Amino acid sequence: MLIQKPVNISPSEITPPELYARRREFMKTAAVWGAVALLPPALRSRLAQAADNDLQRTPYKDVTSYNNFYEFGTGKTDPAENAGSLKTKPWTVTVEGHCEKPGQYTLEDFLAPHQPEERIYRLRCVEAWSMVIPWLGIPLAKILPRFQPTSSAQYVEFTTLFDPEQMPGQRTRILDWPYVEGLRMDEAMHPLTLLATGLYGKELPNQNGAPLRLVAPWKYGFKSIKSIVKIRFTEQQPATTWNREIPSEYGFYANVNPNVDHPRWSQKKERRIGDFFRRDTLMFNGYAEQVAGLYAEMDLRKDF
């Protein structure tokens, strides 16, 4: 998610480099789409809708080698190449703010007594690429009540580890470190919101946000803060990293909305990693039925 103004082409139009190597896969896909093009329009529409709802898992190799994690570099392959320096054991999470039980907790104590469960979620990034990932994690709604947030807790703020020795990207000034994100309390307590500890039945790799990351599947990927070390209950809306850096492009809510374009490219289409062709972007990343009620009184063009 390198913030650079394109010269002649937008990021949503760029095919990831690794896809060019999949010539045989492309030829197969092209043949299928050629056949689909000969079908009646109504049938083509139904097939397209089925593709949009497809939850075929993105291969593990792609999930763990094509990432945004600026703490390890701005290139998509940088996190996988550089994240080996991160030490995730032991790990401490600090809880503070408007709650009755603040403190410092080991990761094990923070997550106890709950066991991770598997959930297959779409992940949609603002540059118009997407994945389908089988996460292992615990719903945030099972964890937050343990700290007894008070009535003043209207938001939850999350902070990533700041350690330039372990995270070489933090030696640069591309962002104001540490990385900070946040959710409204009702978003945090929604059943879909997950604190992920793994994927594909394995421990979370460093490049994917080990040992603890947020997953809010109806939001763009930059909301899914990684390597969390602090959770703070706040009364005011947190000043989150990308919203602070470029407020005209990255709103606090970051809900996937194909009707609101990024100022420099369209959000109407996305390319699933592993696919050659693009597909329609679904409202709330396909989770509209579950989460639209959270924003019923909001102007989703203004509060993006």
| Domain range annotation of the chain | 12-295
Q: Where are the alpha helices (DSSP H) in the chain?
A: 23-37, 41-52, 60-63, 78-82, 107-111, 140-143, 185-188, 241-245, 288-291
Mean pLDDT, rounded, for 38-43: 58
pLDDT for the residue 42: 55
Angle between helices 41-52 and 23-37 (to 10 degrees): 140
Half-sphere exposure of 17 (CA within 13 A, CB side): 5
Q: Are 212 and 194 in contact (CB under 8 A)?
A: no
pLDDT at 272: 96
- Of 34-48, 67-81, 84-98, give the lowest mean pLDDT range: 34-48
Contacts of 151 (CB under 8 A, 6+ apart): none
- Tens-place pLDDT, residues 118-135: 999 999 999 999 999 999
Mean pLDDT across the chain, nearest whole number? 88
How far, in whole angstroms, is CA 298 from its chain's centroid?
Answer: 22
The position carrying tokens 């045989």 is: 24
Which range among 18-32, 45-59, 181-195, 221-235 shows the weakest confidence by mean pLDDT?
18-32
What pLDDT shows up at residue 68?
97
Q: What is the mean pLDDT of residues 20-38?
A: 46
The DSSP code for 209 is: T
pLDDT at 72 over 90: yes
pLDDT of 193 strictly over 60:
yes
pTM of structure: 0.84
Q: Which residues, at least 6 apart from 222, have a Cβ–Cβ distance to it below 8 Å?
A: 1, 68, 125, 126, 181, 241, 242, 250, 254
Phi (first) and psi of residue 285, to 5 degrees: 60, 25
In the chain, helix, strand, coil percent, each to 5? 30, 25, 45
Whole-number pLDDT of residue 50: 45
Q: For residue range 79-99, what is the model confidence (pLDDT) as tens digits?
A: 999 999 999 999 999 999 999
How far apart, in whole angstroms, are the C-alpha atoms of residue 304 and residue 17? 30
Q: Which CATH superfamily is domain 12-295 in?
A: Oxidoreductase, molybdopterin-binding domain (3.90.420.10)
